[in-house]
């Protein structure tokens, strides 16, 4: 089996930090061992919550990383603009003079220019770099991972120049049924039309679509009934078993006999903590005094920070931390905390929690994909994310069982082991080899037919 030359196009890549880079980073880490010669095109100055050099150090030296310039708005500026156009600012700022006028002007400007998202400004540069690499390296397959969802527009651009080149689109999040409503930069009707058109073009011009949950795969597939069933695949996110061994818990903590509950990741629309805070504030004082909730990661909107700070001494807000530090914090916790209002997508942190072997306290979309996995893997305890009384009871029960977790927490270790990133990368590599093999067979058949028709 000869080496497969694959071009991975991903807007964010280490040393950019955050959960958004982990899927691309894990593929780059493990693909070379599967006979894949990997080139990566990414943005040199990608908007990111922070930097994490250890993620870059884990990428094999044989992976060729090509960093291009982007005109994207810096992360901090982007969040301030989003706050203005969404109206989700702090209570004091909402009453400031002129805020409404600024919000209206910025909203119209963003909706008219930056569609499907602000990273669309990277598109031209990424396309030019991709053309060069495809020709210079005799690329066998292009893999484009999203979000940012504007990257799906690359499919049609490349298809026009390379009609026989296999192209795969990797959807880390389902877009049109969930993400566009929960966390999209723009939610206007025009933005929706652009999004639907962009996804449809990408699906029509790609060889395969890969989703990270079965629910998301079904949702995307249902929108395109005329496409063949075998175009749509599911390969989940996972965890690095090696990193879990490295992220050993600290010998002692500063929390004494407190029950430590740790959340890792961004707090944003999909993880709105409002109902959680209401439930925690309603706990009896003797129960509240037993808990420390640690939030590690970026908090996108002032109102979410204000809500969490209502918890007073119960809460610690740490901001963004490198992945190994965040994982070590999970390892020294009693519980891992998961918040999601999304019925289809599963946060990458969920799998890191599984790998850490920590029981999860989850507030989830009832009947959604996270609930299914929580039950299937026996990963912890869950309630409806908007059920204040249910969340209140979840924490009362968590406090009661804190001393007997070794007996009461019984995860399905065999099933969880299947989510190790190395195993998933092997599965992904097999899919890519199959896609290239099918395309080569089609090309050979077409050549044979052409030869026969010409009498050669």
Whether residue 456 lies inside any domain: the answer is no
Query: Is 427 in contact with 234 (CB distance < 8 Å)?
Result: no
Of the candidates 321, 324, 351, 329, the one whose C-alpha atom is nearest the C-alpha of residue 338 is 351
Is residue 406 in a domain?
yes
Identify whether 416 is part of a domain.
no
Are 203 and 182 a contacting pair, CB within 8 Å? Answer: no
State the sign of the Cα–Cα–Cα–Cα dihedral 281, 286, 287, 292.
positive
Tell whether 314 and 436 lie within a shared domain.
no
Cα–Cα separations (whole angstroms), residue 80 to 103, 183, 186, 371: 11, 14, 14, 33
Task: Specify the pLDDT at position 180.
Answer: 78
**Structural domain harbouring 301:** 241-411
Residues 132 and 209 both lie in one domain: yes
CA–CA distance, 450 with 359 (Å, rounded to integer) = 61
Nearest to 282 by CA among 259, 314, 255, 250: 314
Instruction: Specify whether 302 is located in the same domain as 430.
Output: no
- Which SS3 state, helix, strand or coil, does residue 416 take? helix
85 assigned to some structural domain: yes
Q: Are 88 and 102 within one domain?
A: yes
Q: Are the beta carbons of 270 and 340 closer than 8 angstroms?
A: yes
Query: In this structure, how many other beta carbons lie within 10 angstroms of the beta carbon of residue 101?
Result: 9
Contact present, 28 and 38 (Cβ < 8 Å) = yes
Distances (CA, A) of 210 to 26, 308, 349, 378, 438: 16, 36, 19, 26, 17
Q: Cα(234)–Cα(230) distance, rounded to whole angstroms? A: 11
Per-residue DSSP letter, 294: E
Answer whether residue 160 is part of any domain.
Answer: yes
**One domain for residues 116 and 199:** yes
Distance CA 37, CA 251 (A): 41
Q: How many CA atoms lie within 13 A of 161 on its CB side?
A: 11
Q: Does residue 199 share a domain with residue 100?
A: yes
CATH number, residue 247: 3.40.50.2000
Residue 365 lies in a domain: yes
Q: Is 276 contained in some domain? A: yes
If one counts the domains in the chain, the total is 2
Identify the pLDDT of residue 15.
Answer: 93
pLDDT tens by residue, 213-242: 999 999 999 999 999 999 999 999 999 986
- Which tokens hold the place of 213? 């949950």
CB-CB contact of 34 with 11 (8 Å) = no
Residues 425 and 332 in one domain: no
Is the separation of the CB atoms in 10 and 55 below 8 Å?
no
Which stretches of the chain score pLDDT less than 50?
89-92, 94, 246-253
Identify whether 288 is part of a domain: yes
The phi-psi region of residue 319 (left if phi > 0; otherwise alpha if psi is between -120 and 50; otherwise beta) is: left
* Closest C-alpha among 174, 158, 150 to residue 207: 158
- Can you tell me the distance from the alpha carbon of 308 to that of 311, in angstroms, rounded to the nearest whole number? 6
Do 153 and 251 reside in the same domain of the chain? Answer: no
3-state helix, strand, coil in the chain (%, to 5): 55, 15, 30
- Asked if 259 and 308 sit in the same domain, the reply is yes
Q: Are residues 162 and 269 in the same domain?
A: no
At 189 the pLDDT is: 79
The answer on 392 and 442 residing in a single domain is no
Do 256 and 185 sit in the same domain of this protein? Answer: no
pLDDT of residue 182: 66
Separation of alpha carbons 140 and 210, rounded Å: 18
The pLDDT, as a whole number, for residue 108 is: 60
């Amino acid at each position: 089996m000869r080496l497969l030359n694959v071009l991975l196009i991903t807007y964010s890549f280490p040393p950019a930090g955050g959960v958004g880079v982990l899927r691309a980073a894990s593929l780059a880490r493990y693909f070379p061992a599967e006979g894949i010669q990997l080139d990566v095109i990414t943005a040199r100055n990608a908007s990111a919550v922070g930097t994490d050099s250890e993620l870059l150090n884990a990428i094999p030296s044989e992976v060729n990383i090509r960093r291009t310039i982007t005109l994207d708005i810096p992360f901090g500026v982007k969040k301030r603009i989003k706050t203005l156009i969404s109206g989700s600012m702090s209570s004091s700022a909402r009453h400031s003079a002129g805020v409404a006028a600024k919000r209206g002007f910025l909203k119209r400007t963003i909706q008219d220019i930056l569609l499907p998202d602000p990273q669309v400004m990277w598109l031209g540069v990424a396309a030019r770099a991709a053309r060069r690499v495809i020709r210079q390296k005799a690329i066998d397959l292009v893999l484009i991972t999203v979000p940012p969802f504007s990257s799906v527009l690359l499919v049609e651009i490349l298809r026009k120049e390379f009609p026989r080149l296999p192209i795969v689109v990797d959807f880390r999040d389902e877009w049109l049924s969930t993400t566009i409503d929960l966390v999209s930069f723009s939610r206007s009707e025009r933005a929706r039309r652009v999004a639907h058109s962009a996804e449809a073009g990408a699906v029509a011009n790609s060889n395969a679509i890969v989703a990270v949950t079965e629910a998301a795969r079904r949702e995307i597939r249902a929108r395109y009934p005329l496409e063949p069933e075998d175009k749509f695949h599911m390969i989940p996110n996972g965890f690095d078993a090696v990193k879990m061994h490295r992220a050993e818990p600290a010998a002692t903590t500063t929390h004494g006999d407190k029950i430590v509950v740790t959340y890792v990741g961004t707090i944003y629309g999909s993880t709105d903590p409002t109902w959680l805070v209401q439930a925690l504030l309603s706990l009896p004082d003797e129960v509240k005094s037993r808990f420390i909730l640690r939030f590690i990661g970026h908090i996108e909107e002032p109102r979410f920070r204000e809500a969490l700070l209502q918890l007073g001494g119960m809460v610690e807000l740490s901001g963004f931390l490198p992945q190994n530090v965040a994982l070590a914090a999970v390892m020294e916790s009693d519980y891992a905390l998961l918040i999601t209002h999304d019925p289809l997508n599963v946060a990458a942190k969920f799998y890191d929690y599984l790998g850490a072997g920590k029981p999860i306290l989850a507030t989830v979309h009832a009947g959604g994909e996270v609930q299914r996995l929580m039950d299937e893997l026996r990963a912890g305890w869950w309630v409806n994310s908007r059920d204040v009384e249910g969340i209140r009871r979840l924490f009362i029960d968590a406090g009661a069982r804190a001393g007997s977790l070794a007996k009461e927490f019984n995860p399905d270790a065999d099933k969880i082991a299947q989510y190790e990133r190395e195993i998933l990368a092997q599965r992904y590599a097999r899919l890519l080899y199959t896609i290239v093999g099918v395309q080569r067979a089609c090309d050979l058949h077409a050549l044979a037919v052409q030869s026969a028709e010409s009498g050669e």
